[in-house]
Amino acid sequence: MKRRSILKSAVALAAVAAVGVSAGTAFAQDKYSIALIPGLTTDAFYITMRKGAQAAADALGVELIFQGGPEFNPVVQVPVLDAMIARKPSAILIAPTDTTQLVEPLRKANEAGIPVITVDTFIGTGKYQTGAGDADFPLAYIASDNVLGGKMAARALANAMGGEGKVYVSNVKPGISTTDQREEGFKAAMAEEFPKITVLDTQYNENDANKAASQLQAVFARNPDLKGVFGANLFSALGAGNGVQQAGQTGNIKVVAFDAPTSIVDNIKTGLVDVAIAQHPAEIGYYGVVSAYAHLTGNSIPVSIGTGFTVIDKTNVEDPNVAKYIYSE
Ligand code: T6T
């Protein structure tokens, strides 16, 4: 009898231990996993965003899963998102590659109970949690103020050109919130503040720098008095700058670049590019992870967080306080 009760207690103890072990395992599995799906993986902008996100993940003890496609394209991004939803991360941070085509795919994540935060780009109108529209379900939008950035680009280009002449925007394609807003801001500032500048038709390059370079040469062939170009993102700007060089127009056709990879910064040093407007992608990644974590741990979060810009030109390109905003490769 006595022996039996000892046995019983041993079984009970073993059961407790088993619960302890499984509770421990469950705890390990309960570590939050935050997915970051960039516009594309090989872009210095998103590589830098990932670094900021990883810094926050390390500080908070959460797992960061960085997964994306090789091209900035909804057809490529949606399957990556679907696969991520199947993995059931605790939250998804995503730079949607199209304002409308990512709405339904992201709704699936939301309906599966995975909180969604958009970083860099937005879906719908970008006004979330308003109860209006069918694309307001993401919890937050963390990004640069792209309309303002476009206005800053217009002012920088007008200044470099002496306030008159012909320019055009080298852009990716319509339907991307960031680059659409930059073009909108650029055109608005040109119309309101620089009446002697003519803005020619936008050239769309599908995020292909080679195409952007050929387009520059074609626009220049049709407009030998072309005085400036605004490259509305990294590949547009890189290509437009290369086009200016290939046309033998370095210094004559002014180039203002959105984004600041090392190649564009090098082009500032040689005089090919006049100004680069650096976004702060590391901050976008950092605050993305912090916001997701705050939400997961029961805190309220801001529905929108704006990060800043650093304007880089020949006068400050060597300044260490400016150099820290050059994107990582
Ligand atoms: O300009 C960034 C980003 O903000 C935009 O949404 C897409 O292009 C970049 O990634 C640069 O290539």
Q: Give the CATH number, domain containing residue 237.
A: 3.40.50.2300
Q: Which atom of ligand 1 is nearest to the CA of 143?
A: 4
In tens, the pLDDT along 80-138 reads 999 999 999 999 999 999 999 999 999 999 999 999 999 999 999 999 999 988 999 99
**Taking CB atoms and a 6 Å cutoff, what residues make up the pocket around ligand 1?**
39, 43, 45, 120-121, 178, 233-235, 258-259, 279
- pLDDT at position 14, please? 36
Going by pLDDT thresholds of 50, 70 and 90, the confidence category of residue 231 is very high
Q: Which atom of ligand 1 is nearest to the CA of 233?
A: 1
For 186, phi then psi, to 5°, come to: -60, -50
86 falls within a domain = yes
326 falls within a domain = no
The answer to whether residues 289 and 251 belong to one domain is no
* pLDDT higher than 70, residue 71: yes
316 falls within a domain = no
The answer to whether residues 86 and 128 belong to one domain is yes
The answer to whether residues 185 and 294 belong to one domain is no
- pLDDT at position 15, please? 37
Q: Which amino acid is at 140?
A: A
- pLDDT at position 12, please? 37
Whole-model pTM? Answer: 0.91
The answer to whether residues 109 and 180 belong to one domain is no
In tens, the pLDDT along 122-164 reads 999 999 999 988 999 999 999 999 999 999 999 999 999 999 9
79 falls within a domain = yes
The answer to whether residues 284 and 274 belong to one domain is no
133 falls within a domain = yes
153 Cβ partners below 8 Å, 6+ apart? 182, 185, 186, 230, 232, 256, 258, 275, 277
The answer to whether residues 257 and 134 belong to one domain is no
Our mutation pick for probing the ligand 1 site, out of 41, 43, 283, counting the most ligand atoms within 8 A of Cβ, is 43
In tens, the pLDDT along 263-321 reads 999 999 999 999 999 999 999 999 999 999 999 999 999 999 999 999 999 999 999 99
The answer to whether residues 128 and 225 belong to one domain is no
The parent domain of residue 183 ranges over 146-278
Per the CB < 8 A criterion, the answer to whether 252 and 242 are in contact is no
329 falls within a domain = no
Q: What angle separates helix 146-161 from helix 177-193, to the nearest 10 degrees? A: 50
Q: Residue with structure tokens 């916001």?
A: 291
The answer to whether residues 72 and 169 belong to one domain is no
* pLDDT higher than 80, residue 18: no
318 falls within a domain = no
As a whole number of angstroms, the distance between CA 305 and CA 103 comes to 21
The answer to whether residues 74 and 167 belong to one domain is no
Going by pLDDT thresholds of 50, 70 and 90, the confidence category of residue 79 is very high
The answer to whether residues 256 and 287 belong to one domain is no
- pLDDT at position 4, please? 42
Take atom 8 of ligand 1 and give the residue whose Cα is closest.
233
Our mutation pick for probing the ligand 1 site, out of 102, 172, 234, 264, counting the most ligand atoms within 8 A of Cβ, is 234
320 falls within a domain = no
The answer to whether residues 150 and 269 belong to one domain is yes
Give the count of domains, the chain: 2
- pLDDT at position 38, please? 98
The answer to whether residues 127 and 32 belong to one domain is yes
